[in-house]
Amino acid sequence: MRRSRVHYITALGLMIALVFVGNHISIKVPITIGDSSARIHFGNIFCLFGAYIFGPVGGGLAAGLGGVLYDVTSDYITSAPFTFIFKFAMGFVCGKIAYMGKNNGANTKLNIIGGISGIVAYMVLYLSRSFIRDVYFNMMEMAPAMLNLSTRAISSTVNGIIAVAVAVPLGLVIRKALEMNNLMDAIRDGSK
């Protein structure tokens, strides 16, 4: 196995672990209707950060797999397939924008736009699924379903703001450290 491939796999595994751990650092937001819950957590920081380092596919994989690992080791195991798709979409969209042209996640403006776009993509998927589940599967009346949806939307927005505010500067600082140690090229080369 090429040395750069080892760097890539190692760094990707570390990013998956960071997404997993970041999801554990959370504050539950109580929702008293049905079996719903929302959380403020740090997992999305690392979902975006991974996209800045690995680009769309690697960032999507890190976000999706880290999110799934959290789900299968917590109370959210039935959500794991959706989590993979939704978090992968977040990382992929963010990475696609951050890597536009030849920027490779090094342009602050594109990183901010990518981060916001990734969060919005995730929120649309997550909130749509939550609403459909509440109304059509849990047979919830519209008013309580909308209350659940608004609580989830607020916590997701807070998560998104925190994620972009932390991931953008963190990504630039870590990227600089990786470049100074010739590891960024090794990670990038290992993805090919």
Domain boundaries, the chain: 3-190
Q: In sequence order, which residues have a C-beta less than 8 Å from that of residue 77 and are 6 or more positions away? A: 71
Residue 119, SS3 per DSSP: helix
CA–CA separation, 21 vs 17, rounded Å?
6
Enter the pTM of the model: 0.92
Backbone angles phi, psi at 116, to 5 degrees: -65, -45
CA–CA separation, 48 vs 162, rounded Å?
11
Q: Which CATH number fits domain 3-190: 3.40.50.300, 3.40.50.1370, 2.10.70.10, 1.10.1760.20?
A: 1.10.1760.20
CA–CA separation, 95 vs 129, rounded Å?
23
CA–CA separation, 29 vs 147, rounded Å?
13
CA–CA separation, 48 vs 54, rounded Å?
10
Residue 76: predicted pLDDT: 87
Partnered with residue 40 across adjacent β-strands are 27
State the CB neighbour count (10 A cutoff) for residue 124. 12
pLDDT in tens, 75-86: 889 999 999 999
For 135, the token pair is: 């109304």
**Average confidence (pLDDT) per 10 residues, the chain, 192 residues:** 80 97 87 64 96 96 98 92 98 97 92 98 97 93 91 91 97 92 80 67
Backbone angles phi, psi at 40, to 5 degrees: -100, 125
CA–CA separation, 192 vs 103, rounded Å?
17
pLDDT in tens, 21-49: 999 998 887 765 555 567 889 999 999 99
Residue 40: predicted pLDDT: 85
Residue 1: predicted pLDDT: 54
